[in-house]
Structure 1
Amino acid sequence: MIGMMTLFIWLGKGEKQRDHAKLLSNIWPCVKTLNNDLFWSSSTVQRAMLNGILTPFPFFNRKNDKKSLVHLRKYPPQINKDPKIKFGQDTNFGLFVHKMFYNRDLILYAQRVFLSKIFRENQYLLDDTNIPFDWDHISPHKYVHRKFKIPYVLKQWYTTNGNMRAWPYSLNRMDQDDVPAIKLDPLNQKKYQNIDNEKFSGIEKSWDQFIKKNQSLIENKHELKKRLLDWSFCQTTWSECTVRDMKTGWKEVYQLILERNLSICQSWYEQLRIEDLIPSQIEDISFSDFIDSRKWDLNPGYELDSKKVFQFEDFNCWVSKSISVEESDVYLYFSCKTNPDYALEDDGVEFGVFENTPGRLISKIEISDKSKLNYDSDKKNWIYAYFTLVSHDEVSYIEIIKNFKDWLKKIPKKEIKSLAEPFVNSVLTKYRNRI
C-alpha cells in the first residue's frame, strides 16, 4: 500500500502537481471494480500509466535486464557527457531517473529512522518546511561553486540525492565545511589539514556535549564514525574521501554519488516491494490468451444483408462460432480497440449477443426500466453492454470475462441466459474455475 502511494505521489504528480487529478481519474475504474488486494497491485499501477500520467519505472536489479536501474554503473562517466542521459535514451527510463535522483522526499525516506529519533514526533512531518534541518552537500558545495573547469558530468550529479542529506541544524553547526572524510569521521585528527591541537580539542568538546545530550542516539564517541555514516545513509567509502580538487579528483566523487543514489533507491525498492508493482508488458497478453481459438474467430467479417458485421476499423472483435438457440443462429462477441492503451478506457470493451435472423429472440427480450442502464439493444439483432478492462494482466482479464458471464446470466430471457454455459466452455480450461 505504502509503495503504491509513494509511486503515485512521486511519479504521478507531473508539472506543478497538476497530474494528480488525472491519475485519480485513470485509476477510478480500479476503485469501482477491484477488491482490496487487487487494488493495491500492479493492475492499478498499469491504469495509472495511461496517457503517460504515471512515469514508468524500471526493475532495480533484474537478472539479464539491461534496463535495470543498477545498469547505470555500466555507463562510464565522461567529462562532457552525463550517463543519465544515455541511460535514459537506451531504456526510456530517463524521466524516472531524473525525478527520483532529485526527489528530496526519497532522502527523507532513507534517513527516516534517524530523523524520527532526533526530532520529536510532532516535529517530523515531511511537508513541514519549518523542520529544523538543512539540505547539506556531503561533498561540500564550495568545491564546485564558481569554480572553473569543473567537469560537466560532476556538475550534473553534484546536487542529486547521492550528494545530499537532511542534516539537523545542531549537527550542521558542528560540521567542518570540509571533505566527507572529516564530516563523517570528525574525531580522527589525522584526516585534518594543518589543524592545531587547540582547535581540535574544541571539536572534541562539541561532540562530547552532543553525545551527552543524545544518549538515545549514541552512547560514546567511539561509535561516532559508524553513527554518522548510518545517519547520513552513506557507505564506508565516503568516510575515506578526501577530494578537494574536483578538476582532478572528480571521478572518485562521481562514483560515490552514483552509488549512494542507487543505495537510496534500493532501500525504497526493497522495503516497499516496488518491483511487485511493475505491470506486465502490454504486448505480452490479450483476450486471445484466455479463450479457445477453436471456438472463436478474430475479426471474421460475416456477411449480413450484404453488409459486413463484426468488422470495425481500429477494433479487434472476437466472435464465437454459431450457437443454435430455438432454431436461431446466435453469436457471442466482444470487441475493444487495437491500441492496448485505448483498450483500457472506461467502458472500452463491448460484449454482447448477435442474432443472425432478427425477430426470434432478441426482439422479444423485455427489459425493465430499472435494468435499462445495463443493456443496449437495437431490438432486432443485437443486445450488448460495455465493460472496463482494468489493466493488461491475467487477473484483470479473468475478472472482465467473469463479468461477461454474469451479464449473460442476468438477461431476462432464459434462452439467452443459457448462453452462459457455452461461453464458459469456450474459455481455456485452466481459467474456467476462476470465472
Structure 2
Amino acid sequence: MKRKHPLRRTMIAVAGTASAVALLLTLKQPGTTVAGAASQAGAPPANSAPAGSGAVPAGGATVLGDEADTQFGPVQVELTLSGGRITGARAVKVPSTDANSRKIAESSVPQLNQAAVDAQSADIDTVSGATYTSQGYIRSLQSALDKAGAAGAGEGTGQGSAPGAGSGADAPDGDVPGDGSGDVSGEGSGDGSDPGQGSGSGATESVLGDVAGTQYGDVQVRLTVSGGRITGAEAVKTPGSDANSRKIAAGAVPKLNQAAVAAQSADIDTVSGATYTSQGYIRSLQSALDKAGPAGAGEGTGQGSAPGAGSGADAPDGDVPGDGSGDVSGEGSGDGSDPGQGSGSGATESVLGDVAGTQYGDVQVRLTVSGGRITGAEAVKTPGSDANSRKIAAGAVPKLNQAAVAAQSADIDTVSGATYTSQGYIRSLQSALDKAGL
C-alpha cells in the first residue's frame, strides 16, 4: 500500500482554507453600506454636515428667476446667494432663435452676469447692441431678487432691531426720509446688542406701471425705487407690431429710461422720431410713480405734525397760499417733537383733463403740477382717425405741451395747420387747470 506524503496533505489543507476565506470576503453583510461601514469604524460619512448646523453648501443657495420673454426668445437668470449677497449670476436660458441672436447673447450675457454681481441689484445698464436680451435679463434678474428677498438680511443665532434708513431724528434734511418704524429686524450672530440689517421703507422695490396703449403697440414701464428715489427704469413692453416699430422702440427706450432716472418724475421730453412710443412710456411711467406714492412720506412709530407747504404764517407771498391747516402729518420714529415729512400742497400731482371731442378724434391733456405751477403737460389722447390726423397731431402736440408750460394757463395760440387739434387741446387743458385749482 502506497503511503501519502505528509507535505502533500499540508498543501491541500492550506489551499482549501484560502479558498474558504476568499469566498467569505466576497459576501456582503446584510444592511451595511460603504458609509455605514465607515460609521461603524467611527469615521463620519463623507460630505456630511453636523445636524442642525444650518450650513449652506459650498457656493451658496441658488434662486431661479422667472422666464422673461423677448422678441428673440426667453431669458432666465439664476442667482447664487451667500450671506445675503449675490455671489454669482448666470443665464440658464438665452435667445437662440437664429445665429445672430445666439451671437449677441454669447457676448452680452457675461457682461450682464458681471454687472448683476457688481450692482447687487437689477439696477444695471443694458448692453449696447443687445437691448432686448438685456431687458429680458433684467426682468428675470429682478424676479430672482424678489424671490430671494431683500439682499443683506444675514441669518444667525441672535437678533437685533434694525431701524429703517433715515428714521426719526436721523432722517436727512432732504426730501426722502426712510421708514421711521425700524420694524424690520435683521438677524445677527451677536446677543442682540448690535443692530441687524433691516430694509425699512428705504429698501429697493419694483413698481410696475399700467399698460399704455399706443397706435403701434403697448408700452409698460417698471421702476426700481430705493430710498424714495428712482434708481432704475425699464420698459417691459414696447411697440412691436412691425419691424420699424421695434427699431424705433429699441432706439428710444434707453433714452427714455435714462431721462426718467435723471428727472425723478414723468416730466421728460419725448424722443424725436418716437412720439407715440414716448407718450405711451410717459403715461405708464406716471402710473408707476402714482403707485409708488409720493417720495418722502416716511412711516414710523411716532408722529410729528408736518405743515403743508406754504401753510399758515409760512405761506409765501406768491399766488399759491397754503391752507393754513398744517393737517398733513408725516410719521417719524421720534416722540412727536420733531416734525415728520409731509407731502403738503407743494407735492407733485398729476391732473387729467376732460376728454375734448374734435372732428378728427378726441384730445385729452394731463398736467403735472408742483408748488402751484405747471411743470409738465402731455396729450394722453390725440386725433388718430386717419394717417393725416396722426401726422398733424404728432407735429402739433409737442408745441402745445411746451406752450402750456410756458404760459402757465390755457391762454395759448393754436398751431398753424392743426386748428381742430389745438382747440380740443386747449379745452381739455382748461378743464385740467380747473380741477387743479389754477
For the aligned pair, the TM-score class normalised by the smaller chain equals: under 0.3
More strand by share: 2
Query: Which structure has the higher relative contact order (CA within 8 Å, separation 6+)?
Result: 1
TM-score (norm 1): 0.20
More helix by share: 1
